[in-house]
A and B are shown apart, each in its own frame.
Chain A
Amino acid sequence: MNSSIRNALVPLLMLVLVACGDRRPVPQLDLVQSPPPVAAEFRTTVEPAQGGNSSTEWRFWRSHDRIERENPAAQSGDLWVRDGKMLFHTRLYHADRRGIEYHNDDLQILNAAPEWIALSTLLDPGLIGVLRERENGWRDGYPYRRYTGAVEDVVWDITVRTDWMLPTRIERRGADRQVETVELLRSFEFGRSPWQPVDSADYDMLDYADLGDHERDPFVMRIQAEAGGGHMHGHAH
């Protein structure tokens, strides 16, 4: 085939592919496999029943053994590193250039030792397993599956981009009629995002186990007060 004919055919082929996209098989969502490395940006919106919405945008990087999340507005983030069978979590406070490290045993005590697959896909395999698949297909050139259902008074509506194992939308309606929505704004192959995680390599890291012995450390006193009564270590779900 000469090159000029090939040049003319390629756009034509692509048109055909796009037109026939709906008929291509949609990959299953297999929450056992290792998800591909990605970078993404999400928006979380909370609509309480009494009104007064709030929203925040956050970034997400995922590679094989490392997951980072960053909230640029709050100047905070989380780093999860899998090293052999051990899991390390660091809560990052970028404005202070400090972090609090949680080791496996700390996470167990806090009942906050999540499955790697849940951290890396932002999806709870147990939850997806009990919801009903309502539709699947192709949208904007990627495959998706949508799951809905109610679990313990909470109504879920979750759409997942299955090839990247990444949610494009999670909607959660609680019994209190509060609606929380997580929307995927942009996603990139890993390393191709226009923004990169803040480098925390030289932050002053404090062990969670050492918090109790830093009773006069102004940073520790401040974040304890800011937690407002919640665990300083949030639960994964």
Chain B
Amino acid sequence: MQLNSRISLVVTASLTVLGGASAPAHADSASAMTVPTSGAEWFSAGRAAIEANRLVNRELNTRRARNVILFVGDGMGVSTVTAARILDGQQRGIDGEWNRLSFEKFSDLALSVTASANQQTSDSAPTATAMVAGIKTNDGAISVDQSITRKEFCAEVTRAKSVRTLLERAEERGMSTGVVTTARITHATPAVNYAHVSNRDWEANNTIDSDLGATVLPVGCTKVKDIAAQLVDFKVGNGLEVALGGGRPYFEPNTKADPEYPTRLGRRTDGRDLTAEWAAKPGAAYVWNKAQFDAVDLNRTRHLLGLFEPSHVKYEADRANDTAGEPSLAEMTRKSIQLLKKNPKGFYLMVEGGRIDHAHHAGNAYRALTDTIAMAEAVKVAREMTDDEDTLIIVTADHSHTLSIAGYPSRGNPILGKADTGLGLLGVSPVAIDSLGLPYTTLGYLNGPGGWTGNGSRRELNPATELYTAEIPFTGKRPDLTNVDTTNPNYLQESAIPTVGAETHSGEDVAIYANGPKSYLVRGTLEQNAIYHVMARALGL
């Protein structure tokens, strides 16, 4: 009976394919079918997947897109997607290796080369600029070309070196536009859509002023505007329809207390209250908590600004503990599309899973993976709310991280657990042992703050005594994880090289997943800036 049900599921998957589904067979079969358990079943599943691809290629979606949605998983390298896919499956009680995240069911795929104009391994500013403006540029650059210096204070020079973004072109055409992120809305990846500035750190005016110091601007130059001010002062078309994320103090004067955390003040030293300025525009609304967000009247609201935290929005794993409540990335995506869809001319929306990157930098795989799963949920919502026939959805990462999946753990071994040997009896598999006789986790980082602190050479600051401990000599041993619960959400995976402040980005290619009009242009190994050109071509811009 078991075999029969499997066969019938394979047949169902094949029938779906014959019915003209645009996604590969595994995509649809994976959600319905359990993992194959025999050579014959694997063979059938493999053949069904190829059959689906054959039909996709026969029916290229060459239409023009009305809408484009670009999802960016900040730091979501291929190993992150694989590990998140497994964790998601294991959390839902299905085979993690067979599981697929929503965007892994898209019809087209390519690799993206993420090196920037001056970096082998890039930061988020030039990589995001590549995706939304179609050029490669230097570290820290927000939609300005590589001829600019990192700290260009002159607004006129900055304007001359600025590059037009897809969002600006969409606004010029009368489309609606939006930017949604779990990072600060002024952070590099969202900022490249609406701002032009040489230094990603100039999120509010105070950092420009402190960098400028006593320097006098050259004759004919006015001071460049900070990123938050550029968002609120954005003049192309009728301005952004949606901007949701974190970063309230970057919009508020340093005399104004934060509404959620009254001990904290704004950062602006120019006296501007940008949230009040936004809210004063016709048809505009500003919200800063979940209740206000839920109460937004979409019939009356044409421009929505939501800033839910003083800095980045909470990790998905911590969101439930927030003081004033925050919407999830999926909820923000849903509300945005509801608002943007009102425009018959179509829309452009960027959605960033911004904190995948931060969790990796902290050496904490759990939060990186759960934020990846949260972004996959947002992609699912976006696809459900739109039509494959007129909406191009691209999901990609700006760069990767040093996360690796190592050892020879058994299929089904907990992805956050210790690698096992697969050699045990009665379903109990002993953990794998390294050359020092110690167990190790499946997930690890090449560098970062985690794990090596157990026994390596180190000094640790004790703030209660204001002293660093004496150097603890290197014993040649890794920490013994025998009694450590590595699936704890706060566990920091071990790193080989100590970079205590933060784990770093990594330079290998990331994946581009695409679905909808012109998605067939996403193939092969593409330079990252080609993503812009796919979106622009799809929109006919």
Asked whether B466 is an interface residue with its Cβ less than 8 Å from the other chain, the reply is yes
Interface string of A215-237 (1 = CB under 8 A from B): 11100100110011111101111
Interface string of B432-469 (1 = CB under 8 A from A): 00000000000000000100010011111111111111
Cα A156 to Cα B460 with chains together (Å): 20
Is there an interface contact between A44 and B465, defined as CB atoms closer than 8 Å?
yes
Asked whether B123 is an interface residue with its Cβ less than 8 Å from the other chain, the reply is yes
Please give the number of chain A residues whose Cβ is less than 8 angstroms from any Cβ of chain B in the complex: 59
Known contacts A86-B261, A109-B367: A212-B466 contact under CB 8 Å: no
Is there an interface contact between A227 and B501, defined as CB atoms closer than 8 Å?
yes
Q: B residues 240-269 with Cβ under 8 Å of A?
A: 254, 261-265, 269
Is there an interface contact between B464 and A109, defined as CB atoms closer than 8 Å?
no
Instruction: Give the residue name and chain of the B residue nearest to A66 (CB).
Output: B263
Which of A4-12, A13-21, A100-108, A192-200 is the interface stretch? A100-108
User: What's the least CB distance linking B429 to chain A, in Å?
Assistant: 29
Known contacts A111-B490, A209-B361, A235-B462: A229-B501 contact under CB 8 Å: no
Is there an interface contact between A212 and B318, defined as CB atoms closer than 8 Å?
no
Asked whether B143 is an interface residue with its Cβ less than 8 Å from the other chain, the reply is no
Known contacts A103-B311, A105-B318, A234-B460: A83-B263 contact under CB 8 Å: yes
Is there an interface contact between A180 and B264, defined as CB atoms closer than 8 Å?
no
User: What's the least CB distance linking A193 to chain B, in Å?
Assistant: 17
Instruction: Give the residue name and chain of the A residue nearest to B263 (CB).
Output: A83
Cα A58 to Cα B457 with chains together (Å): 27
Residues of B within 8 A of A214 (CB): 201
Query: How many contacts A-B (CB < 8 Å)?
Result: 150
Asked whether A141 is an interface residue with its Cβ less than 8 Å from the other chain, the reply is no
Residues of B within 8 A of A215 (CB): 123, 504
Is there an interface contact between A182 and B453, defined as CB atoms closer than 8 Å?
no
Selected from B207, B359, B467, B504, the residue in CB contact (under 8 A) with A56 is B467
Is there an interface contact between B465 and A209, defined as CB atoms closer than 8 Å?
no
Asked whether A74 is an interface residue with its Cβ less than 8 Å from the other chain, the reply is yes
Selected from A103, A212, A217, A229, the residue in CB contact (under 8 A) with B453 is A229
Instruction: Give the residue name and chain of the A residue nearest to B125 (CB).
Output: A213
Cα A122 to Cα B463 with chains together (Å): 10
Known contacts A86-B261, A230-B453: A213-B467 contact under CB 8 Å: no
Asked whether B188 is an interface residue with its Cβ less than 8 Å from the other chain, the reply is yes
Known contacts A44-B466, A105-B318, A109-B362: A227-B262 contact under CB 8 Å: no
SS of B interface (majority): loop
Asked whether B500 is an interface residue with its Cβ less than 8 Å from the other chain, the reply is yes
Asked whether A54 is an interface residue with its Cβ less than 8 Å from the other chain, the reply is yes
Asked whether A115 is an interface residue with its Cβ less than 8 Å from the other chain, the reply is no
Asked whether A204 is an interface residue with its Cβ less than 8 Å from the other chain, the reply is yes
Interface string of A163-190 (1 = CB under 8 A from B): 0000000000000001010100000000
Asked whether A211 is an interface residue with its Cβ less than 8 Å from the other chain, the reply is yes
Is there an interface contact between B463 and A69, defined as CB atoms closer than 8 Å?
yes
Is there an interface contact between B461 and A231, defined as CB atoms closer than 8 Å?
yes
Asked whether A23 is an interface residue with its Cβ less than 8 Å from the other chain, the reply is no
Is there an interface contact between B357 and A212, defined as CB atoms closer than 8 Å?
yes
Interface string of A89-120 (1 = CB under 8 A from B): 00000000000010111101111000000000
Residues of A within 8 A of B318 (CB): 104-105, 108
Between-chain CB contacts (< 8 Å), 7 pairs: A103-B311, A201-B254, A213-B361, A224-B499, A229-B453, A231-B460, A234-B463
Interface residues of B (CB under 8 A from A): 123-124, 139-140, 188, 200-201, 206-207, 210, 254, 261-265, 269, 311-312, 314-315, 317-318, 321, 323, 355, 357-362, 364, 367, 449, 453, 456-471, 490, 492, 498-505
Interface residues of A (CB under 8 A from B): 44, 46, 48, 54, 56, 58, 65-66, 69, 71, 74, 76, 78, 81, 83-86, 88, 101, 103-106, 108-111, 122, 178, 180, 182, 201-202, 204, 207-217, 220, 223-224, 227-232, 234-237
Given contacts A201-B254, A211-B501, 14 further A-B contacts (CB under 8 A): A48-B470, A56-B466, A56-B467, A109-B492, A178-B470, A201-B265, A204-B207, A209-B355, A224-B502, A227-B459, A228-B471, A229-B500, A230-B453, A231-B461
